[in-house]
DNA sequence: GATACAAAATGAGTATAATCAGTTTTGACT
DNA sequence: AGTCAAAACTGATTATACTCATTTTGTATC
């Protein structure tokens, strides 16, 4: 039992990779719990490292900065939510209902912990690093895939301008919730729908 | 000449107030120069305090956090620019030309120092504090006043939802510049124009 | 002018995010 | 099993944003 690879046909992920993933999960879980309990500012990186049972140095191997941990927490939870919403049978749920569900989930973050939510939005909408940018893209992709599945068009269309607009739509929706301008959500939804129809019809979105 | 108030009819601002304003100006100037020369991250608060010839403690009396200094710098420069643009005689400059001038000025920040610009946008669009929020409002007001003057409608209309949308329009424009999607600027301008016509026609903007 | 009071300034001190040089663990290969 | 290079881990150390108890400055009243 020496080599780390069993005799399966395709290459096994490998123990190293699995350990890394497990550790990442432990870190994110620890961060999520502590942020929830004490808030972002009052949680030290030391505490997170202790809770995840790793050294402080290791922590910064998985997250370039403390704020990255917040994004990791959000990303994981939101991806799960979006996938669950679009995976559920489309009972009475039309396009609008599902979009609304995703939006509402984002808005919940504002309701529960405004400071944390603000930080999240900042980091997600104007990402500093390429890595961060791909976090947004992944979230957008999840929504796209769900929508294109429902509409029946081909998935996996990528258009930076539309990605930006959709990211904005999500962002703007949350911003409006924060401002208490709830009645504007309809406008926001319509904007996203319009953008998505451009996406599906293959318009170049220059106009 | 003991009392700090001369015998003018109305109350003189007072030396204290004047000193405070002058000190604030010195701080902003010092911060601007250092940020330009060395970048935001590589400039310490100590350096700024030294350059402005004040103690480090005093610095944080004028700015709650280091990032506030960035916003102060931006706010001052941008307000001056916006006012200059709308104060100039409307020679060949229509509505679009002036808006574009304001937008381009914002985009310049991206071109010159992307990191600094990203930080700015984050801070301006999702302000943490009420004080920060009023910075955005003031900028928006400057644009509104210029536009309503040109169009001839009554100035000083305030609608949080429209403020949010306009702030977004500025933000989005800069985001697109950053993404290199320059051809989308037209869409952004049209959005703002549309919002402004709602503003002028007195629509409630719920729709 | 002297006294009292509030506002502002100060810089030594503190807390902590992030680093890095050294150590341990891993897994492929013989 | 034994060897080795690369990957992962560690926590003592560092740099610095921000605080706070104390001092200085400005203004009002007599």
CA-closest candidate to residue A49, choices A72, A26, A65, A70 = A26
Q: CA-CA distance, A41 to B117, in Å (whole number)?
A: 24
Q: What is the pLDDT of residue B194?
A: 58
Q: What is the pLDDT of residue A56?
A: 97
**Shortest CA gap B129–chain A (Å):** 10
Q: What is the pLDDT of residue B192?
A: 53
CA-closest candidate to residue A162, choices A207, A104, A132 = A207
Q: What is the pLDDT of residue B158?
A: 45
Strand D proximal residues, A:17-36, Cβ < 7 Å: 19-20, 23
Task: Let me know: does A22 contact A54? Beta carbons within 8 Å.
Answer: no
Task: Let me know: does B28 contact B72? Beta carbons within 8 Å.
Answer: yes
Q: Residues for chain A: how many in total?
A: 207
Task: Let me know: does A64 contact A55? Beta carbons within 8 Å.
Answer: no
Q: What is the pLDDT of residue A57?
A: 97
Task: Let me know: does B158 contact B168? Beta carbons within 8 Å.
Answer: no
Candidates B121, B184, B188: best to mutate against A (most CBs of A within 10 A) is B184
Task: Let me know: does B188 contact B172? Beta carbons within 8 Å.
Answer: yes
Domains B12-63 and B64-201 share a fold: no
CA-closest candidate to residue A124, choices A113, A115, A132 = A132
Gap from B9 CA to D30 C1', in Å? 25
- For the domain made up of B64-201, give the CATH fold: Tetracycline Repressor; domain 2 (1.10.357)
**Whole-structure pTM value:** 0.75
B111: helix, strand or coil: helix
Q: CA-CA distance, A169 to A174, in Å (whole number)?
A: 9
Tell me which nucleotides of strand D come within 7 A of a protein CB: 1-2, 7-13, 16-21, 26-29
**In the block, which residue shows the tokens 């601002």?**
B13
Return the structure tokens found at B128: 């943490």
Q: How far is CA B56 from CA A201, B27, B38, B67, B200, in A?
A: 58, 11, 19, 15, 47
The residue extents of the domains of chain A are: 14-63, 66-201
Residues of B in contact with A179 (CB under 8 A): 160-161, 164
Q: Per residue of chain A (207 residues), what is the pLDDT tens digit?
A: 344 344 443 445 677 788 899 999 999 999 999 998 998 999 999 999 999 999 999 999 999 999 999 989 988 888 888 788 877 776 545 666 776 677 677 667 666 666 776 777 677 666 666 666 667 667 767 766 776 666 555 444 444 444 445 555 555 555 555 544 444 555 555 555 555 555 445 454 433
Gap from B144 CA to D1 C1', in Å? 80
CB atoms A172 and B164 under 8 Å: yes
Burial status of residue B170 (CB atoms within 10 A of its CB: 0-12, 13-18, 19 or more): buried
Question: Which option is the CATH number for A66-201: 1.10.3210, 1.20.1050, 1.10.357, 3.40.190?
Answer: 1.10.357
Q: How many helices (H) and strands (E) does chain A have?
A: 9, 0
- For the domain made up of B12-63, give the CATH fold: Arc Repressor Mutant, subunit A (1.10.10)
Gap from A110 CA to C26 C1', in Å? 43
A10: helix, strand or coil: coil
Residues of B in contact with A176 (CB under 8 A): 161, 164
Task: Let me know: does B101 contact B91? Beta carbons within 8 Å.
Answer: no
Closest-CA residue of chain A to B161? A181
CA-closest candidate to residue A71, choices A140, A143, A124, A145 = A124
**Would you call B172 an interface residue with chain A, using a CB distance cutoff of 8 Å?**
yes
Which helix (DSSP H) or strand (DSSP E) does residue A169 occupy? helix A160-179
Buried b (16+ CB within 10 A) or exposed e, B134-152: ebbbebbbbbbebbbeeee
Residues (pLDDT < 70) of chain B are 1-14, 90-96, 99-100, 103, 107, 109-115, 117, 121, 124-134, 136-137, 140, 143-144, 146-207
Question: Is strand D in 7 Å reach of the CB of B16?
Answer: yes
Superfamily of domain A14-63: Homeodomain-like (1.10.10.60)
> Which nucleotide is the nearest neighbour of B58, by CA and C1'?
C9
Q: Beta-carbon neighbour count of residue B158 at 10 Å?
A: 11
Q: CA-CA distance, A57 to A47, in Å (whole number)?
A: 13
Strand C proximal residues, A:38-57, Cβ < 7 Å: 44-46, 56-57
Q: What is the pLDDT of residue A78?
A: 81
Q: CA-CA distance, A72 to A24, in Å (whole number)?
A: 10
ipTM above 0.90, yes or no: no
Q: CA-CA distance, B157 to B145, in Å (whole number)?
A: 9
Q: CA-CA distance, B152 to B155, in Å (whole number)?
A: 8
Gap from A44 CA to C16 C1', in Å? 7
Task: Let me know: does B205 contact B159? Beta carbons within 8 Å.
Answer: yes
Residues of B in contact with A187 (CB under 8 A): 205-207
CA-closest candidate to residue A31, choices A98, A76, A1 = A76
């Amino acid at each position: 039992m020496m080599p780390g690879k069993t005799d399966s046909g395709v290459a096994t992920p490998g123990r190293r990779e699995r350990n890394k993933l497990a550790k990442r999960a432990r870190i994110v879980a620890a961060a999520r719990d502590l942020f929830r309990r004490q808030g972002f500012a009052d949680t030290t990186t030391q505490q997170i490292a202790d809770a995840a049972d790793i050294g402080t140095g290791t922590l910064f191997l998985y997250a370039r900065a403390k704020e990255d941990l917040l994004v990791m927490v959000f990303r994981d939870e939101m991806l799960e939510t979006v996938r669950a919403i679009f995976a559920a049978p489309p009972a009475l749920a039309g396009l609008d209902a599902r979009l609304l569900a995703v939006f509402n989930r984002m808005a919940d973050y504002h309701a529960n912990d405004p400071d944390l939510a603000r930080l999240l939005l900042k980091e997600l909408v104007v990402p500093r690093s390429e890595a961060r940018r791909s976090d947004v893209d992944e979230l957008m992709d999840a929504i796209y895939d769900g929508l294109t599945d429902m509409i029946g068009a081909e998935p996996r269309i990528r258009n930076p301008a539309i990605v930006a607009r959709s990211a904005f739509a999500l962002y703007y929706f949350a911003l409006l919730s924060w401002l208490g301008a709830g009645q504007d959500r309809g406008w926001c939804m319509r904007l996203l729908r319009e953008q998505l129809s451009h996406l599906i019809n293959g318009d170049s979105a220059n106009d």
